[in-house]
Amino acid sequence: MSEFMAAAYLRLSYTNDRTAESDSIQNQKKLIEDYIATHPEIELVSERVDDGYSGVLFDRPAFQEMMSDIMAGKVNYVIVKDLSRLGREYIETGRYLRRIFPTCGVRFISVNDNIDTANEHNGDDLNISMKNLLNDTYCRDISVKTRSALLTKRRNGDYVGACPIYGYRKDPDNHNRLVIDEDAAGIVRDIYRHKIDGASAKRIAEELNRLGVLSPMAYKSSRGLPHPTGGFADVPGAKWSARAVLRILQDETYTGVLLQGKQETYNHKLKDIVHKPPEEWVRTENAHEPIISKGDFHLVQKILSLDTRTAPNGEAVYLFSGLLICGSCGGRMTRKTNTVNGKKYVYYHCPTGRKNGCTHPVMLKESDLTACVLESLQAHIRSAVSLDRLLDSISEEEIGREEIAKFKARIADSEVKLEEARQFKATLYENFIGGFIDKKDYQDLKSLYTLRARQAQEAISLLREEMERTIDNSGDRLRWIQHFKEFSNMTTLDRRAVIALIQSIRVLGKEDLQITFRYQMEYEKALERLAQAVSLAKEAV
């Protein structure tokens, strides 16, 4: 065996190096082979290739294999095409060249750079340091440009992710846009439908597994679609779980909204993920075709926010779960079942009781409660539908003109505040680097202007929503009245109707319920508009 045992190390990243033909793996290999051919004393004992790995970090698999060979004494030469193939990070690359390789008795050769660590006394030391610094600077510049380009794409509403969520895939004609994957989208719709009907996430997952429906990861793998690797679900035979179902139920992407920029790394040298606050996310409405309507999505969020426990071995959530409130102490009421002489009685009661401070606890039969709520709900639906018909017969063109002018003025004021906050925030870093402010002032001011920008943005969103409601009362009515019209022929009470139309039920007594319906604010505003319209009509006469 030769005294000089060499490892050829070849590396290529996916991002930039593929654009340069001179850096291809085959080119690197040929160059190193030609070098060894002119140095017959060197024996090539291994060839390590990292194809698709950045030079910033050193946890590359082939590089680590080469280091294992070095530690085992199998290699005492490392040959690369140029210094950037070994690494682009100034400090870590220097550590390998100055400390680790010499300690292990390894001689390093970079063919194109004409670097040989055996000749450092001839000035190669300065040459290596300068090239390392240039490689590091190049990598930083590329990182800055890449981040800037991605941010611009996100703000333009382009999808820049690698793996679309379950139910979508990249448009073959435009990879920056999502299109519906109908096979998976059907499963997503079923998941939402089951949840609205009262099924728990665990029960939905069990049913999908029983029917043999592939989990999101297994589905993507079977179709050859891009998917994350190395995760807990990236295993053969991965099944549906309650967590996977909840992720789908809580993802606003299914309504056509694109949310990007939720996390980032500190810089191009660190892998640690930083989770950004919601106000810094890039949000694009109507970026792609929705799978789930906004109404159904928001309804599911309401359901998830309630106490939705099921009975032992049960498949559905109780009818009034999470909605019943004791009118005396404000606590949540509990469903109980008793069997007397073989007959089952179901009732709701306040678990706090007199002993624990509830002055007037009420025990209410489930059958009586159901009948009372159904009657009240039917009456409210009739009232809402009648109100909508009355408003349809009255012209509201003159109503709210002054309100609209006020909204526009307040929106303009908030937009000025938002722009000021953004400009101040943009100049902070330059002032910090220039030494005009210290680190603490920089952090405090950044937090302050971030808060101001968020407050201004929230104010603008709320004002625009209110103005749209005022401008298009008919459209606004359709958005909330449709929920009531959908149940206008209801004869029996189910969980979907209860969740969709009722916010809470306060039990004041066995025959005294205080029901708060959803869209109460919209209902009251519609009454106000009707009163205004009637008043204007009388004045005109």
Tens-level pLDDT at each residue, the chain (541 residues): 567 899 999 998 764 444 444 468 888 898 899 899 888 888 999 999 998 888 878 889 999 999 999 999 999 999 999 888 888 777 788 888 888 998 999 999 988 888 888 775 544 555 666 666 666 665 666 666 666 666 677 777 778 777 888 999 988 888 888 899 999 999 999 999 888 777 888 889 999 998 889 999 888 888 888 766 655 444 556 789 999 999 999 998 999 988 887 776 655 555 666 777 877 788 888 888 999 988 788 888 877 876 555 555 555 567 887 788 888 888 888 888 888 888 888 888 888 888 788 888 888 888 888 888 889 888 888 887 787 776 665 544 444 555 677 778 888 888 888 888 888 888 887 787 778 888 888 888 888 888 888 888 888 888 888 777 666 554 445 556 776 777 888 888 887 788 778 888 898 888 888 988 877 777 777 777 777 766 766 665 5
Closest listed residue to residue 411, CA positions, set 454, 457, 470, 476: 457
For residue 172, give the amino acid letter. Answer: P
Assess contact for 111 and 80: CB atoms under 8 A.
yes
Strands (E), 426-468: none
Quick one: residue 73, left, alpha or beta (phi over 0 = left, psi -120 to 50 = alpha)? left
Question: DSSP secondary structure string, 482-522?
Answer: HHHHTTTT--S--HHHHHHHEEEEEEEETTEEEEEETTHHH
Closest listed residue to residue 29, CA positions, set 47, 51, 54, 55: 47
Which tokens is 375 given? Answer: 């009657």
Pairing of strands 77-80, 4-12: parallel
- Is 47 exposed, middle or buried (CB count within 10 Å of its CB: 0-12, 13-18, 19+)? middle
pTM of the full structure = 0.48
Assess contact for 468 and 404: CB atoms under 8 A.
no
Radius of gyration of the chain (CA): 33
pLDDT digits (tens, 9 = 90+) for 329-382: 888 888 888 888 888 888 888 888 887 888 888 888 888 888 888 898 888 888
